[in-house]
Structure 1
C-alpha cells in the first residue's frame, strides 16, 4: 500500500507540479491538495481523507504552515509533517520543528532527493538535511543528554534560548555575559555534539526537552 500524501500550498502550480512528480514515486501517492491550513482541517473531518504525510508550505494566507503544524501536532500527532518551503533561515526551520514538523526541505530540492527524504521520513519518523547530524537523533531514545555528552549548566542555559528567535546578542543579555561568551557556548556545544549550526543545536534541545 502506498503512503498517502496531502499537499498544502497556496501556489497552485507548485502543488500540481509536486503531485505530478510524486505520481512517479513507487511508494507514495497524493490524495489531494489544499491552499492553506483551514482547507486541510476541513479535509481531516473525514477518516478516509486523513493522509500519512502532509507536505506543508510555510507562507500561506488564512492559516500558515506554523499554525497548521501546531494544529496537526495537537490533533493528529501520528500524521508526519514535512515542511517544504523557500525559507531557509534558522528561525523558520527552528519554529517549524518546535511546532511539530518531522522534516524540512527546500522547494529547490531535486525530485530524486524528495523521494529519498520521504522514504527516510516514513522509515525513521523524521528527516532533516545535513545540518542535523545522526547524533542529534541518536539521543531521542536515550532520554538523557548526559548519556551522550557532558553539558555544563551554562551551556544548558544557552540551549534553552537557542530554540527562540532571539539573536546571540539578545541571548547574551539574558545570560548576563558578552556575545563572545555566548558564541563560545555555541562553538563548544557544536564540537561536543558534532553539529554545525544553530538549527542543529535547536533540534537537539527540542528533542531532549531543553526549551
Structure 2
C-alpha cells in the first residue's frame, strides 16, 4: 500500500506539478492539495483522510509553514513533515525543525532526490540533505557542553560513528554485525545517557566529540 502525501503550497501550479511528479513514484501518492495551513486544518475537520506525510511550503498567506508545522506537531504528531521551500537560510531551516519538520528540501531538488528523501523520511523518520545537516550541526553544536563525563562503551562509540552517515539503522546493524534491535538499544541507551531525543542530536554529539570518524 502506498504512503499518502498531502501538499500544502499556495502556488497551485507548483503544487500540481509536484503532484504529477509524485504520481510517478512507486511508494507514494498525493491524496489532495491545500493552499495554506488553515486550508489543511479545514480539510481535516471536514473528514478528509489524514496523510502519512505532508510536503509543506514555508511562505504562505493566512497560515505559514512554521505555524502549520507547530499545529501539526501538537495535534497530529504521527504525521511526518517535510519542508519544501525556496528558502534555504539557516534561520528558516532551524525554525522549521524546531516547529516539528523531520526533513527539509529546496524546491529545485531533482525528482529522483525527492523520491529518495521521501523513502528515507518514511523509513528512518527524518531526512536532511548534507547542506541542511551542516546548518543543524553548526547550530546545535553551540549549545552542547564540551565535557564528556558519561561512560560510553566501545560498541556505543562505534554506533555513534555511523550516526553521522546516511546509513539506515538496518544498514548500520549490518556494518556492526548485529541485529537492528541491538542497534536500536544502542540508540536508546545513548539518548538516555546524553539526554537526547533524535539521531541528529546523537550525530552532533559524535562530531563534537570526535566519534564521527
Q: TM-score normalized by structure 1? A: 0.67
1:66 corresponding residue in structure 2: 66
TM-aligned CA distance change 1:56 to 1:140, over 3 Å = farther
Structure 2 distance, partners of 1:193, 1:31, is 44
Residue 192 of structure 1, CA deviation: 2.9
Q: Deviations over 1:42-74 (max 9, x none)?
A: 111255521111000000000000000000000
TM-aligned CA distance change 1:47 to 1:123, over 3 Å = farther
Structure 1 distance, partners of 2:49, 2:106, is 26
The answer on whether the counterparts of 1:6 and 1:34 sit within 8 Å (CA) in structure 2 is yes
Tell me the SS of whatever aligns to 1:29: strand
2:163 corresponding residue in structure 1: 135
For structure 1, the 5+ residue unaligned runs are 149-158, 160-185, 196-211
TM-aligned CA distance change 1:87 to 1:145, over 3 Å = farther
TM-aligned CA distance change 1:33 to 1:140, over 3 Å = farther
Aligned length: 158
Q: TM-score normalized by structure 2? A: 0.66
TM-aligned CA distance change 1:78 to 1:89, over 3 Å = same
Structure 2 distance, partners of 1:193, 1:76, is 37
Structure with the greater relative contact order (CA < 8 A, sep ≥ 6): 1 or 2?
A: 1
132-141 or 29-38, which deviates more: 132-141
TM-aligned CA distance change 1:15 to 1:147, over 3 Å = closer
Tell me the SS of whatever aligns to 2:191: coil
Moved over 4 A (4+): 136-140, 144-148, 188-191
Tell me the SS of whatever aligns to 2:45: coil
Aligned equivalent of 2:209, options 187, 192, 210: 192
Structure 2 distance, partners of 1:56, 1:145, is 34
